[in-house]
Chain A
Amino acid sequence: MKIPQDRIRNFCIIAHIDHGKSTLADRLLEYTGTISEREIKEQVLDRMDLERERGITIKAKAVRMIYRAEDGSDYLLNLIDTPGHVDFNYEVSRSLAACEGVLLVVDASQGIEAQTLANTYLALEHDLEIIPVINKIDLPSAEPERVRREIEEVIGLPADDALLISAKEGIGIKEVLDAIVKKIPSPKGSESDPLRALIFDSLYDSYKGAIAFVRIVEGKIEPGQKIKMMSTGKIFEVTEVGIFSPEMVSVDSLRAGEVGYVVAGIKNVKDTRVGDTITDAENPAKEPLPGYKKAVPMVFCGVYPADGEDYEKLREALEKLQLNDASLFFEPETSAALGFGFRCGFLGLLHMEIVQERLEREYGINLITTAPSVVYKIKKTNGEEVMVDNPTNFPEPSKIEHIEEPYVEASIMLPAEYVGAVMELCQEKRGNFKDMQYLSEKRVVLRYEIPLSEIIYDFFNQLKSRTKGYASLDYEVIGYRKSDLCKVDILINGELVDALSFIVHREKAYSRARQLVEKLKEVIPRHLFEIPIQAAIGGRIIARETIKALRKNVLAKCYGGDVTRKKKLLEKQKEGKKRMRQLGKVEVPQEAFMSVLKMG
């Protein structure tokens, strides 16, 4: 049974973390009989364990439902899931571009958060129909009326007919489905036009290769067809197309307005870039769909196996992860301190943490990671311009004409009572105040321009702790700006440790260097000799601590009955040393390399 285009509805759900997006999605699937209650493993759309634990959706997915509306007709509803974190902003925008409408889900007691707002603006940019949904009305702390006003005042969206629901309790689910049918327009686009399909996600399958998740905007796609990726010009032959129900089911063809997947013997997810347009190779469209951009890694760090023997294993693991994650960048790197490893690039901090966690958890590799760095643009005195993502590669100070660093515009939404604390934080983080807007009497949105390097350096934790967790953050890169930056090197026992170098604003160099040498003094065990720990800019020492020499390590007693126990003790000491990195004469525990991260 083929459902005509005018009975197709493609939509997304926009919600802040924990505002109930996944629960609502589950209820919709359940109500439409797409999946039975028993089949719902808590939250169907979040497949990865990691996602479930963190309560966030990392990669966009889609699911197709059939709903018999009050008019007696069957409607085809495609729910396209969106990632809920600032690192994946671009992916969100592509998911939205695949839809005609969105459900804006807002927690009835929490109200609108920064991320929700940012994504709603994105939806408005795409001219999408927005259906406000106020969730969790069953909670005693629910204030649906306040939230309704907030939606009107903050977003400027009429919210008189906002739906009041409780996804958890199953209240108002039918109303949501009816609203989708009534309010969201059906897709336009003609089946007879040349094919244009928007890739909004992809998945790597070891049998089928890279699978593109697409929204057909115009034309149609079917097995046997030759298709072309418009950003690269690469051509593939389609072997299978299908839909998500929610498992992948193959169909004869996908037509304008429909959402589904395409298999075409594509070996690498790099060829199914999110945002790219697929067209027919023999009858290509003139223009690709607007808005494609290649995801650019913004945050870099060194990733090393704790055990040098795991190097190959780490490479294989990164390759596997990259199969499913085109935005993950890596290349081999060597460090005098850490040996062989990889320089990895990520969309943002969360992306970095997720990758590191997956490497450790799913692939069982113990990692040493260096402090994350942004990409600096350095103009050298000889006129050359270089991009540097690793402090080690910083040119000598005398050869630097000036340095530029990436800035973001940060929107922070918070209860009014914390404005002072957050402004102070933003000042500390070298932020330039842009504006402040009262969303209601109690809630404020602050806008600052802040260097990205400050955002990745403990900003989020500080924000959370200074607002008791009530603030939310969204940011967008706005470009490069000149800054007075310098590189701080760390010397342990007189030897430079490349993995500990960091870039910092000159005014903060002293205090951050102090913190780091103090921290290193704590974590490096005493040796038989005194160890100076110094921080230096160029040749100038700006901070120093000294680890006193170990004077005593001896067991007073060792008689017949003690041998076994004392030997165990010695073995433990030896084992501890094994896990250290030898830097010159000094043995440094792995946590020392992480300590750069934990300052502040």
Chain B
Amino acid sequence: MDAIALYIHVPFCIKKCAYCDFNSYTELEYVPLYLDSLKREISFYSNIERTISSIYIGGGTPTVLNEKELPSLVDAVRGAFNISPGLEFTVEANPETITREKLKVLREAGVNRLSLGLQSFDDKLLKAIGRIHTAEGFLKKFFMAREAGFDNINVDLIFGLPQQKVEDFCDSLKKLLDLSPEHVSCYSLSVEEGTKFYELKEKGLLFLPSEDEERMMYHSARRILEEGGYSHYEISNFAKPGRECRHNLVYWTYGEYLGLGAGAHSFIDGVRFYNVYDFKDYIEKVKEKGSAVENREKLSGEDQQAEFIILGLRLVKGVDKTLFYRKFGKELDSVYGDAIKRLKEKELIVDDGKYVKLTEKGLDLANEAFIEFLP
């Protein structure tokens, strides 16, 4: 049986962060109803003939679920699917929602990787961007997780925040290194429509660092983390040896995945499909039909090839040319020779014969490279 990654979306948060455009809501009273639907959807897909090779429960904030709800959700998954032993099983968590009891039940349920949203060690910044925790609060929960037995922890950071200085960010990075998490995600802030930040930006009230400063932060992150023993393996991701996120690697290596919950996307047999976005609509639709697919898109060969490259180029090691050939039966160079040539001239990519990958400059300007591969 082919392997597949499983994603489950929990679209609830205690509070919406100022930069967040994710599918999340603060109407926590709906959690029980939502969980019922999620379990129904899980059972809907239970006869899928795949082995689950990784599980990722993301959000929102999955840890807004209580000590009973969390294991019951995992039980439903385990009951429905064929789960490969020793799989990577990640749950996202906001430090403020973590309790010793939750950590315990998660461990018992087989969750072996935790992803914590820290964003910054600067309390003033945390407050300004609408986080509900402090640096101190994060530290407490980080150690609590370690005590509970989590030996594979990711921490999220954001850079390019309003009024953030390069030194501030480097300071956060160094403090994080002292904790030695297995994995670090460093995201460049992007101001999306529909967020508080967007509103402020429109009014001219969002004071972001300059582009040069922002890039300096990114370059600093690469240097500091690499010096600290992390390898930079994807545009925004760093890991200690062997600790790359296996679940996310599935996305970037064009593997297949099943996404459950409101707005979740799936990709199976060359078909991309996704659930209705709004969680109330999702609840209704599952009640009605058992699943909540809003749309399906059968990708053309051209589209698949483009996506394969665009996703693959996000990996620092690049796109494996042999893999491309195996998947599409064509040489990468015969399909994208011109694009690759242009991009080499622009010094955005290099080609070592086996892999095509972004240069350092290419990592800052990846979109300029990606668009060359679109059909």
Q: How far is the CB of B364 from chain A (nearest CB, A)?
A: 5
Given contacts A528-B368, A570-B370, A574-B371, contact A552 B236 (CB under 8 A): no
In the complex, the answer to whether A553 meets B366 with C-beta atoms within 8 Å is: yes
Whether the pair B311, A563 counts as a contact (CB closer than 8 A) is yes
In whole angstroms, what is the CA distance A570 to B309 when docked? 13
Q: Which of B212, B297, B310, B348 contacts A570 (CB 8 A)?
A: B310
Whether B371 lies near A555 (C-beta < 8 A) is no
Q: A551 on the interface (CB 8 Å rule)?
A: yes
As a 0/1 sequence over residues 543 to 572 of chain A, the CB contacts with chain B under 8 angstroms (1 = contact) are 000000011111111111101100100110
- Whether, in the assembled complex, A577 has its beta carbon less than 8 Å from a beta carbon of chain B, the answer is yes
Quick one: which of B342-375 are within 8 Å of A by CB? Answer: 346, 348, 361, 363-368, 370-371, 374
**In the complex, chain B residues 124-178 whose Cβ is within 8 Å of any chain A Cβ:** none
Give A577 to B368 CA distance when docked, in angstroms: 11
B230, CB-defined interface residue at 8 Å? no
CB neighbors of B among A500-529 (8 A)? 528
Instruction: Assess the A555–B367 pair: CB atoms within 8 A.
Output: yes
* Distance in Å: Cβ of B140 to nearest Cβ of chain A: 27
Q: Which residues of B contact A206 (CB under 8 A)?
A: none
- Interface check B214, CB cutoff 8 A: yes
Q: Are B363 and A551 in contact (CB under 8 A)?
A: no
Inter-subunit contact A563/B272 (CB<8 Å): yes
Contact (Cβ within 8 A) B367 A570 = yes
Could you tell me which residues of chain B, from 186 to 233, have a CB within 8 Å of some CB in chain A? 187-190, 211-212, 214-215
CB distance from B83 to the nearest CB of A (A): 19
Cβ–Cβ < 8 Å partners of A573 in chain B: 367, 371
Report how many residues on chain A are interfacial, defined by Cβ distance under 8 Å. Answer: 21
B187, A560: Cβ atoms closer than 8 Å:
no
Whether, in the assembled complex, B62 has its beta carbon less than 8 Å from a beta carbon of chain A, the answer is no
Would you call A564 and B365 a contact (CB within 8 A)?
Answer: no
Would A554 and B265 count as touching, CB distance under 8 A? no
Asked if A551 meets B374 with Cβ closer than 8 Å, knowing A560-B257, A564-B272, A564-B274, the reply is no
| Total chain B interface residues with beta-carbon distance under 8 A | 44
Known: A559-B251, A560-B251, A564-B265. Contact between A554 and B272, CB under 8 A?
no
When A550-B365, A563-B265 are in contact, do A556 and B190 touch as well, CB less than 8 Å? Answer: yes
Give the contacting residue for A552; candidates B215, B297, B348; CB below 8 A: B215
Judge if B95 is at the interface, Cβ distance under 8 Å.
Answer: no
CB of B212 within 8 A of CB of A554, answer: no
The verdict on A528 contacting B365 (CB below 8 Å), with A559-B251, A560-B257, A560-B265 known, is yes
B371 near A577 with CB under 8 A, answer yes
Separation of A551 and B209 alpha carbons in the complex (Å): 13
Q: Which of chain B's residues has its CB closest to A572's CB?
A: B371
Taking CB atoms, residues of chain A closer than 8 Å to B307 are 563, 567
Report the minimal beta-carbon distance from A523 to chain B, rounded to whole angstroms: 19
A35 CA to B357 CA, complexed, in Å: 76
Scoring B190, B248, B361, B367 by chain A CB atoms within 10 A of each residue's CB, the highest score goes to B367
Across the two chains, which residue of chain B brings its CB closest to A564? B272
Minimum distance in angstroms from A157 CB to a CB of chain B: 59
Q: Does B89 contact A (CB under 8 A)?
A: no
Cβ A552 vs Cβ B214 within 8 A: yes
Q: B368 and A553: CB pair below 8 A?
A: yes
**Is B364's CB under 8 angstroms from A554's CB?**
yes
Closest to B314 in A: A558
A555 to B363, CA, bound (A): 10
Q: Which residues of A contact B370 (CB under 8 A)?
A: 570
Give the contacting residue for A564; candidates B257, B297, B364; CB below 8 A: B297
A550 to B362, CA, bound (A): 12
Residues in chain A near residue B348, CB distance under 8 A: 528
B365 touches A554 (CB 8 A): yes
The digit string for B56-91, where 1 denotes a CB below 8 A from any CB of A, is 000000000000000000000000000000000000
Chain A residues with CB under 8 A of B9: 561
The answer to whether B297 touches A574 (Cβ under 8 A) is no
Q: Which of A528, A555, A563 contacts B366 (CB 8 A)?
A: A555
Are B366 and A560 in contact (CB-based, < 8 A)? no
- B111 on interface, CB distance cutoff 8 Å: no
For window 223-256 of chain B, which residues contact chain A by CB distance below 8 Å? 235-236, 248, 250-252
Are A561's CB and B265's CB within 8 A? yes
B73 → A minimal CB distance (Å): 19
Q: Which residues of chain A have C-beta atoms less than 8 A from B236's C-beta?
A: 556-557
Residue with the greatest number of chain B CB neighbours at <10 A, chosen from A554, A558, A560, A574: A560
Give the distance in Å from the alpha carbon of A563 to the alpha carbon of B254 in the complex: 11
In the complex, are the beta carbons of B371 and A551 less than 8 A apart?
A: no
Contact of B374 among A550, A555, A571 (CB under 8 A): A571
The contact string, 1 if C-beta is below 8 Å from chain A, for chain B 266-296, is 1100001010000000000000000000000
Asked whether any CB of chain A lies closer than 8 Å to the CB of B42, the reply is no
B121 close to chain A: CB less than 8 A: no
What 4 new A-B contacts, CB under 8 Å, besides A556-B188, A556-B235, A563-B251?
Answer: A552-B365, A555-B235, A558-B251, A560-B250
Q: Could you list 23 A-B pairs, sorted by A, with CB under 8 Å?
A: A528-B368, A550-B368, A551-B364, A552-B188, A552-B211, A552-B215, A552-B364, A554-B235, A555-B366, A556-B190, A558-B251, A558-B311, A560-B5, A560-B7, A560-B250, A560-B266, A561-B264, A564-B274, A564-B297, A570-B310, A570-B367, A571-B374, A577-B371
Residues of A within 8 A of B (CB): 528, 550-561, 563-564, 567, 570-571, 573-574, 577
